[in-house]
Structure 1
Amino acid sequence: MITRRQLFQGIGAAAVGGVGFGGYALAEPFGTSVTPYRLSPPGWPAGLSLKLAVIADLHACKPWMDVERIEGIVAHVNSLSPDCVLLLGDYVAGVRISRYSEPVTHAEWSGALGGLKAPLGVHAVLGNHDWWEDQEAQDRGCGPTRAGLALERAGIRVYENACVKLSKDGQPFWLAGLGDQWAFYKHRRGSKSYVGVDDLAATLAPVTDDAPIVLMVHEPDIFPKVPARVSLTVAGHTHGGQVRLLGYAPIVPSRYGARYVYGHIVERERNLIVSGGLGCSGIPVRFGSPPEVVMIELGA
């Protein structure tokens, strides 16, 4: 196991721009900011004001995202008094990041998230790493996953192609959660392909009225297929590029490149917000894409 000191020394020595760049890139993963958005999507009902807290891509591991840090994030989110908390997947450390870190157990990170409080509940979808780290689920070709079960034991509802009708001040809305689009990975002749458990039609099928819909997804790649009937789609997965140089992200895990890398995107009057997330994937470095909790005020 590489030590934290060795990792700091190695990346610091190799970082572009020398020690200043390396030190910043290694320090940035330990900060957390709150990024606010205020919008009224087309057709959003007058009088429905909804405050959503979004947590994405924790990638729990020591020392980068240990239990104490997760508990601090939970306390901060609770202090913002959201109506709902939306968890967008990748709670576990990826395989590659684990080379530089130590594990945080499922009971530990899910127990910390179990401290989240909101009057309209805490709601979750799974991410690709939550599927990939569970070899038994990979072998079966279906869930449940260890991460999903841990969330449920912590009292958090996990959505897989499902939705629920909620109400704020007598005004109804639908909250939907899509199954992960990259749940299973396949290796063929040196290349990788991904198979999802996502079913957008089934996710939205229970909607029986014209109340607005908020859709939770992990990967933003589904967005071109999301109908205008959905008021807002929220996603994670990209980490905002994780490393951005002068606003450019050289690596984005999306078939669309940087099209959905980060922030508020409007296409054909449809709204998508992509969180930069909180943790790290691949290597424990973030640069130009600081960790964030997203706060969305709809109809405010």
Structure 2
Amino acid sequence: MKRRDVLKTFFSLVVKGALLSTAGYMYAKYIEPRRLTVHHYDVVHPLIPKSFDGCRLLQFSDVHIGYHYTVRHFQQVVERMNDLKPHLICFTGDLLDEPNKYAHVDAITSLLSQLHAPLGKFCIYGNHDHGGYGTDIYKRMMNTSGFRLLVNEWVYVKQGSEQIVIAGLDDFMLGKPNFAKTVQHMPKETYTIALIHEPDLVTQASVYPFHLQLSGHSHGGQIQLPWIGPVVTPPLAKRYVEGFYDVGQLTLYVNRGLGTTRMPFRFLTPPELTLFTLKAGL
């Protein structure tokens, strides 16, 4: 090849690479973070009572409001959640990115109050809910908006004369989690859903009488590459990143969350709501 042809080919590749990088940057920052996906799954188990057959449980997680996620964005998601008509709502932590620096706490509390779930709304702490001196801020917000904040405890959810159990642990990074306290006096032959922010704790959780663990924290890695997978995941979300896993007798589901943190990007990990339909198994 002539020198002119070599230079022409080189500069062509540089321009194409720059255009591709720019397009990827724009997509990851402005498009995919708003591409909300709703996943529908059936959860079948012999301990699910017949009166709960068809019960819809909605999980959302890791909103990180305040870090490139606004009141308007969350309002749209709240409307979408209500459109799904869940019977139960479970939030698995990290509501505000920096609670003590966020100026619109009342607006978010009002939106949370608008979520409807006839069998109850439940939540746990994530590491960001404790961080930024947010422990009391988050607690006040969730209690005011009608959520039951579970901190190393369990509650019955009743439907007629039958019930299931929802248990919630404190955050493992900045809280004071206690498995033994959480399961104290918990019935063993009742279908039990555990809310645990960090998914890698499933190994410990699997020795207790939980049947379904709902977690978040990982954001699905936020950025995944083809054939490689997640580029970076946070502590306690290294092994279990997104979707379903079976660990012993326990089924884990890891939700990718709604917002972003540290980097305002998502690539091959669109934000997620998950709607589980409980099915009474034989």
What is the TM-score with the length of structure 2 in the denominator?
0.84
Match of 1:177 in 2: 168
What do residues 3-52 of structure 1 show as CA deviations (whole Å, max 9, x unaligned)?
Answer: xxxxxxxxxxx999412211110121122110122121464445532311
Match of 2:95 among 91, 95, 99: 91
Match of 2:184 in 1: 205
Instruction: Report 1:1-300 matches (<5 A).
Output: 17-26=20-29, 27-41=31-45, 43-45=47-49, 48-49=52-53, 50-61=55-66, 64-94=68-98, 103-134=102-133, 144-183=135-174, 196-208=175-187, 210-226=189-205, 227=207, 229-246=209-226, 248-255=229-236, 257=238, 259-299=239-279
How far apart in 1 are the matches of 2:190 and 2:142? 28
C-alpha displacement at 1:160, in angstroms? 0.6
C-alpha displacement at 1:169, in angstroms? 4.8
Tell me which structure has the larger Cα radius of gyration.
Answer: 2
Contact 2:198 2:236 in 1 (8 A): no
RMSD over aligned Cα, in angstroms? Answer: 2.4
How far apart in 2 are the matches of 1:15 and 1:160? 49
How far apart in 1 are the matches of 2:63 and 2:219? 10
Contact 1:165 1:174 in 2 (8 A): yes
What do residues 75-130 of structure 1 show as CA deviations (whole Å, max 9, x unaligned)?
Answer: 111111111000111001259xx9xxx94522222221111101111111111011
Number of matched residues? Answer: 260
How far apart in 2 are the matches of 1:59 and 1:74? 15
Q: Which amino acid aligns with 1:32?
A: L
C-alpha displacement at 1:180, in angstroms? 0.6
Larger displacement relative to structure 2 (149-158 or 210-219):
149-158
Closer, same or farther in 2 for the Cα pair 1:21/1:124, shift >3 Å?
Answer: same
Match of 2:10 in 1: none
How far apart in 2 are the matches of 1:285 and 1:205? 41
Q: Which amino acid aligns with 1:91?
A: L
Deviating above 6 A after TM superposition, structure 1's stretches of 4 or more consecutive aligned residues are none
How far apart in 1 are the matches of 2:180 and 2:243? 25
Q: Which runs of 5+ in 2 are unaligned?
A: 1-16
Contact 2:150 2:169 in 1 (8 A): yes
Residue 61 of structure 1 aligns to a residue whose secondary structure is: coil
Q: Which amino acid aligns with 2:21?
A: G
Same amino acid, percent of matched pairs: 27
